[in-house]
A = this chain, B = another copy of it.
Amino acid sequence: MTPRTPRTAPRDPKQDRSRATRRRLLEAAVACLAERGWAGCTVAVVAERAGVSRGAAQHHFPTREDLFTAAVEQVAEERSAELRALPARRGEGRVPAVVEALVTLYTGPLFRAALQLWVAASYEEQLGARVAALEAKIGRETHRMAVELLGADESVPGVREAVQGLLDMGRGLGLANLLTDDGHRRERVVAQWSRILEGILTTKAPAAPRPTRS
């Protein structure tokens, strides 16, 4: 029932203004979350930040949950677009380039905003289910794109889990970067894990030793 998705009617100036307002609100919501956390961001705070009246904000997003989940959905779409914009690359240098790009997704303001929402959702009941569903969707999409960009063959045992672990590492690196600039350490970790992953992805059989039978 929320007017979250503008109808795809023929363009008219009123609708264009409405879309621009919505976009300003979403951008302000992401920036607010990244800077002030969930507790510091209400619809009123975001409206003021966006230079939009409170009434107009509430017309677009009737509840605080509507606004912030839409904002993180926006974050996710931007993250996907960033990934899709990566130049396709084959052969040498592909894995390190893709790993670096994936990890970069977790260290910018977009991840910071998502993290704030994610953590708030762990104790805000009304946010919980919506954010969990959203994060599951984002997780699947990111995994799918990582597999494609890396050219990973998931039919090889262990490759699927290796890619998943890489994305978990990206999230962990994002978290480590939250309070301090962790760039120098991260660079070395990413270089080493790129080499390890490259070893796994470029051999036909799994590079890691299989568990010994007892």
Is there a chain B Cβ closer than 8 Å to A122's Cβ?
A: yes
| A151 / chain B contacts, CB cutoff of 8 Å | none
Whether B118 and A179, one on each chain, are in contact in the complex, defined by CB atoms closer than 8 angstroms, is: yes
Contact call A119/B172, Cβ cutoff below 8 A: no
Contacting pair B165 A168 (CB below 8 A): no
Minimum CB–CB distance from A129 to chain B (whole Å) comes to 9
Determine which of B39, B128, B131, B192 lies in contact with A158 in the assembled complex, contact meaning CB atoms within 8 Å: B192
Which residue from B136, B139, B175 sits with its C-beta under 8 Å from A171? B175
**Given A122-B112, A195-B211, A209-B198, CB of A172 within 8 Å of CB of B167:** yes
Range of interface residues on A (Cβ < 8 Å): 35 or more
Query: Does more than half of chain A's interface fall in helix, strand or loop, or is it mixed?
Result: helix
Please state if B118 and A192 are interface contacts (CB–CB under 8 Å).
no
Residues of chain A from 141 to 200 with CB closer than 8 A to chain B in the complex? 158, 161-162, 164-165, 167-176, 178-180, 185, 188-189, 191-193, 195-196, 198-200
With A171-B171, A172-B169, A192-B165 given, is the CB distance from A178 to B118 under 8 Å?
yes
A123 & B35 in contact (Cβ 8 Å cutoff): yes
Question: Do the beta carbons of A119 and B123 come within 8 Å of each other?
Answer: no
Q: A171, B179: Cβ atoms under 8 Å?
A: no
Known contacts A161-B188, A195-B208, A207-B207; is-contact A172 B168 (Cβ 8 Å): yes
A195 to chain B: which residues have CB within 8 Å?
Answer: 158, 206, 208-211
Question: Would you list 16 pairs from A and B whose C-beta atoms are within 8 A, ordered by A residue?
Answer: A37-B39, A40-B123, A115-B175, A116-B119, A139-B176, A158-B192, A161-B191, A165-B192, A167-B172, A168-B172, A171-B172, A172-B173, A175-B175, A195-B206, A196-B200, A198-B209
Known contacts A37-B122, A118-B175, A175-B175; 4 additional CB pairs below 8 A are A161-B191, A172-B174, A195-B206, A195-B210
Residues of A within 8 A of B (CB): 35-40, 92, 112, 115-116, 118-124, 128, 131-132, 135-136, 139, 158, 161-162, 164-165, 167-176, 178-180, 185, 188-189, 191-193, 195-196, 198-200, 202, 206-212
